[in-house]
Amino acid sequence: MAKVKQSKEVFAEINITPLTDVCLVLLVIFMVTATVLTSTGGLDVDTPKASNPQELPPKSVECAVTKDGNVFVDGQSVPISEVKNVLASKLNESPNVTVVINADADAAYRYVAAVMDASSLAGAKITMAVGRE
């Protein structure tokens, strides 16, 4: 009877194709999610509509004012009394930045005016964000 020679080598190869596929799918999901969150700031702000809204400047700091009167600077909640200090520190980091005020259509004007005043006192250029009709 003939002996069958069995290989004693260990097969130590990992197939990484499925791992690569999963990583690429997750990358696409994160890219799409990040784009959506960046464009809205992750806040529920319903801006007033305009027939011909202007493009926002590329270098900008977003100040969102919700209908409840809460103020968010670049997505972080800031008390109205501290908006000037936060904007001044951001302007020290990058002086050619425009402050984009993204106020809810139902926000009380006093909150929007307070943010505009704080932005002006911090020395920022100001623009208002509006939606397209």
For the chain, the residue count is 133
Placement of tokens 């009394």 in the chain: 81
Q: Are 73 and 87 spatial neighbours (Cβ–Cβ below 8 Å)?
A: yes
Question: Residue 26 — pLDDT band, cuts 50, 70, 90?
Answer: very high
Give the contacts of 111 (CB within 8 A, at least 6 positions apart).
Answer: 65, 69, 71, 80, 103
Mean model confidence pLDDT for the chain: 80
The pLDDT score that the predictor gives to residue 25 is 94
pTM score of the predicted model: 0.59
Task: Flag whether pLDDT at 17 surpasses 50.
Answer: yes
Task: Flag whether pLDDT at 40 surpasses 70.
Answer: no
Kindly report the three-state secondary structure assignment for every residue of 100-128: EEEECCCCCHHHHHHHHHHHHHCCCEEEE
The pLDDT score that the predictor gives to residue 133 is 59
Q: Are 73 and 16 spatial neighbours (Cβ–Cβ below 8 Å)?
A: no
Cα–Cα distances (Å) from 34 to 29, 42, 58, in that order, read 9, 10, 17
pLDDT digits (tens, 9 = 90+) for 50-100: 666 666 666 788 888 888 888 998 888 889 888 889 888 888 887 778 888
